[in-house]
């Protein structure tokens, strides 16, 4: 009987320990969830600090997803072979640009900042060349899309011109995406050196990179959506009787004649 009582007592103690371990695990799990949310909140709060590089990253996404290749060159009157060559050239140069972006040293030297400059203005002027490039590049791509709608300038339909444009835009878009992603954390390190951001934020570099990547994925989705909507508007415009009669100058293909016939039937 004494042996049975001892065994029973041991079993009760083991069951009690298991219950305590289970309660402790549940408590640690419940306490870790608010901790993760709190850390994520800390990182989200500092996103505006590295917004100058998010702008650069967004420009790369606009070039790589909105303009190419859905609008340029697929909405331009070229042969399928020319469209394929231009698109492949864009993708190849984009790949080179993304990889080449890793060669830039994104470390920020605080001594370059003048006393009269704010931190934000200093970061903007530091990337002034990049901003001038993206303004020029986006303006040219917008002009090409506008000309697809109006057909006022013939040189934009040149396959050689579009091949050159796609290659340059692909390279620039790749560099901007890479430098935008690579330059976010150095900005936070700069603010940390100025005593504006604490060391606790710098230690969350993995979460910071995840947020930058998530932002890039969201922008890719939005730019793809806007590109498809723009494509639909342009195609509907190009199939209108006004566009067909004013821009084909009597040289009508079978597809154009069928589209024109459908317009008059409606």
Tens of pLDDT along the chain (266 residues) come to 444 555 455 556 666 655 555 554 444 444 445 577 787 788 888 999 999 999 999 999 999 999 998 899 999 988 999 999 999 999 999 999 999 999 999 999 999 999 999 999 999 999 999 999 999 999 999 999 999 988 888 888 899 999 999 999 999 999 999 999 999 999 999 999 999 998 888 888 888 888 889 999 999 999 999 999 999 999 888 877 777 777 765 555 666 666 666 666 65
What does R_g of the chain's alpha carbons equal in angstroms? 29
pLDDT of residue 37: 76
Residue 166 neighbours by CB distance under 10 Å: 27
Question: What is the pLDDT at residue 27?
Answer: 43
- Angstrom CA distances, 7 to 1, 15, 18, 242, stand at 10, 12, 17, 95
**pLDDT in the model for residue 244:** 72
Question: Tell me, what's the pLDDT at 249?
Answer: 55
Compute the distance between CA of residue 253 and CA of residue 259 in angstroms, rounded to an integer. 10
């Amino acid at each position: 009987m004494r042996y049975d009582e001892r065994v029973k007592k041991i079993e009760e103690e083991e069951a009690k320990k298991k219950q305590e371990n289970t309660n402790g695990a549940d408590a640690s799990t419940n306490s870790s969830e608010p901790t993760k949310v709190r850390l994520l909140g800390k990182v989200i709060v500092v996103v505006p600090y590295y917004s100058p590089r998010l702008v650069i990253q967004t420009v790369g996404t606009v070039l790589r997803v909105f303009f190419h290749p859905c609008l340029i060159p697929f909405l331009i009157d070229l042969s399928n072979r020319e469209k394929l060559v231009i698109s492949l050239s864009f993708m190849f140069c984009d790949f080179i640009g993304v990889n080449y972006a890793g060669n830039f040293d994104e470390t920020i030297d605080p001594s370059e900042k003048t006393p009269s400059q704010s931190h934000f203005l200093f970061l903007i002027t530091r990337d002034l060349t990049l901003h001038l490039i993206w303004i020029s590049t986006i303006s040219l791509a917008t002009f090409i899309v506008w000309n697809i709608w109006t057909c006022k300038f013939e040189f934009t339909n040149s396959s050689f011109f579009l091949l050159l444009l796609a290659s340059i835009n692909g390279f620039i878009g790749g560099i901007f995406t890479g430098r935008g992603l690579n330059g976010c954390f150095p900005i936070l390190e700069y603010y940390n050196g100025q005593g504006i951001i604490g060391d606790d934020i710098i230690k969350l570099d993995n979460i910071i990179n995840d947020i930058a990547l998530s932002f890039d994925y969201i922008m890719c989705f939005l730019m793809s959506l806007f590109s498809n909507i723009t494509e639909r508007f342009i195609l509907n415009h190009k199939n209108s009787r006004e566009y067909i009669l004013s821009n084909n100058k009597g040289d009508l293909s079978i597809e154009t004649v069928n589209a024109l016939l459908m317009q008059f039937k409606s």
